[in-house]
Copies of this chain bind each other. A is one copy, B any other.
Amino acid sequence: MSSRIGILFVGFGGAVSTTSVIASLAIAKGISPPYGLYTETNISTVKDGVLDRHNQKPIKEVLSLLQFNDLVFGGWDIEDQSLYDASLEQGIVPPELIHQLAPELKLFHPLPGVFSSTYVKNLQGKHLIPAATLWEVVQVLQQNIREFQQFHQCERVLVVNTSSTEAYNPFTSVHQTLASFEEGLRQNDSSISPVQVYAYAALASQAPYINFTPSLAEEAPALRELAAKTKTPFAGKDGKTGQTLLKTALAPLFRLKNLRVEGWFSTNILGNKDGLVLDDPGSLKSKIMTKSSVLDQILGYSPYHKVNINYYPPRGDNKEAWDNVDFLGILGMPMQLKINFLCRDSILAAGAVLDLIRLLEYSARHGESGVQEQLSFFFKSPLTIIPDRQPIHDFFKQEGMLKDWLREKAFGVKYN
């Protein structure tokens, strides 16, 4: 593949998008190894319809996934700051590397964005699209997408939502049909949140859409209807990076060994903007909801499960999780597992974002549309093709589902 792919971030200048862009540049230039990327691992090939475990090939080759130097970046943000300034301020990427990429990073500036203090409490919007109605905002966003695509001569543009988590706001009647939603945009309906506006603009523009946050958007019936109409694929939601990633990889162990989990206590400390936003109970609710159900689904029963998220400034982006699991073995004897994960929020996220871009672009290129459920592997709260069906949370089952899909695409072998 040789032609250009445009990536427009919602929240262009936030920690996740900035780190994703830097990582893409650094890998493309060969400065950094492509660690943290699923699409850089190998897959067993198939020979005569049978798996050939002794012959493994890189996923990116068997599927001809996009190269990182095919990407061009842009996006919207409510703060007007270059990615160079943003990355220095965030303190996630070492300054040496930022300086090395300064020429590119200084050129990246966000377009004005959409903001509502109803949905995000602890931030302020300063760099906003001037428009009387949400409908007018949508026109601006679609024009942004169109112009970006033309300017950079992109074969395709993807929109990736990495903006701050919005307060939990259940869908109303306005979200039920495309018609009612469009009417809501015209009427400035307050139950339509900013990211829903972006999602609408993306899908209406046939731009494949990734929701990396817990905010409610593309799963609304209205937006599913839009995606079907414009034949656009989308994937979500809420990138699975730290504690939940570990939890969905460990819980299967308890299930398979029939070790009875009585309680699972999870606490997190983080000091980045994500933590600040989550200090608002509304945004926190959205997050906790996507984090809570995973255990019950994997285990098949409901242990006592408590998840805490704490804003803790000394730590910055270097998120830390502490988990305690109480479980019973044979004869009902109690045991404990404690996990302390010193991770980096945006570093883990950036790998998943770049994987998703590669794989959703592949879907789009091959004519897929609607929910891409095989990408559940990357999400805390995977969207399912059949709405409201319980998603698969087991990390290894998710990987199995993804690998089966990859093999089917690459080798034409379908598993049941």
Which residues of A are in contact with B by a Cβ distance under 8 Å?
Answer: 19, 22-23, 26-27, 32-38, 40-41, 49-51, 93, 95-97, 245-246, 249-250, 252-253, 255-260, 262-263, 265, 267, 269, 303-304, 306, 308, 310, 312-315, 320, 322, 324, 326, 328-333, 335-344, 347-348, 350-351, 354, 395-396, 399, 416
Contact = CB atoms under 8 A, between A and B. Distances in A.
A371 to B, nearest CB: 19
19 contacts: A32-B331, A35-B260, A35-B328, A35-B332, A36-B259, A37-B330, A41-B256, A51-B416, A245-B253, A246-B337, A262-B314, A265-B269, A265-B312, A267-B308, A330-B354, A333-B347, A335-B341, A336-B342, A337-B341
A161 B228 CA distance: 61
Chain A contact residues: helix, strand, loop or mixed: mixed
B258 A34 contact: yes
B38 A258 contact: yes
Contacts of A49: 416
Given A256-B38, A258-B37, A338-B340, A314 B347 contact: no
Nearest to A322: B322
Nearest to A303: B314
A339 B329 CA distance: 19
Given A245-B253, A306-B310, A258 B315 contact: no
B41 A258 contact: yes
Counted per complex, copies of this chain come to: 4
A251 to B, nearest CB: 10
A33 B332 contact: yes
A335 B342 contact: yes
Contact of A329 (B22, B35, B329): B35
A335 to B, nearest CB: 5
Contacts of A340: 337-340
Contacts of A258: 34-38, 40-41, 351
Contacts of A322: 267, 322, 324
A253 B244 CA distance: 12
Contacts of A40: 258
A236 B96 CA distance: 41
A355 to B, nearest CB: 9
A49 B260 CA distance: 32
A312 B306 contact: yes
A331 B347 contact: yes
B314 A34 contact: no
A36 B322 CA distance: 25
Contact of A36 (B19, B257, B338): B257
A393 B320 CA distance: 29
Given A263-B315, A322-B322, 15 more contacts: A35-B329, A36-B259, A36-B329, A38-B258, A50-B416, A97-B331, A245-B257, A249-B249, A249-B252, A252-B396, A304-B313, A306-B310, A322-B324, A330-B351, A338-B340
A107 to B, nearest CB: 20
